[in-house]
Amino acid sequence: MKKYKCSVCGWIYDPAAGDPKHGIVPGTPFEELPADWHCPRCGAPKEKFRIRERMPAAVFFGRAQALFAASTARS
């Protein structure tokens, strides 16, 4: 299941965990959350959430290595 990130505060909704404190049982997909559900951290409405895009590890580490190489080359 896809995770969703609050665009206001960065809190991640993980369907596997749900939101038990607010009556959302584990396994509840984001699309099935009630219309009045809101971010437990900042109170943002459901509309402020976006699908969390994960960068493949190889891409992340490749970019990190390139940035490190560029920063040490300037020193």
Structure tokens at 31: 């699309």
Going by pLDDT thresholds of 50, 70 and 90, the confidence category of residue 62 is confident
What b/e string do you get for 25-55 counting C-beta neighbours within 10 Å, with b at 16 or more?
eeebebeebeeebbbeeeebebebbeeeeee
What separation in angstroms does the CA of 30 have from each of 40, 65, 67? 14, 35, 35
Structure tokens at 1: 């299941």
**pLDDT (tens digit per residue) in 30-58:** 999 999 999 999 999 999 999 987 766 66
Mean pLDDT of the chain: 88
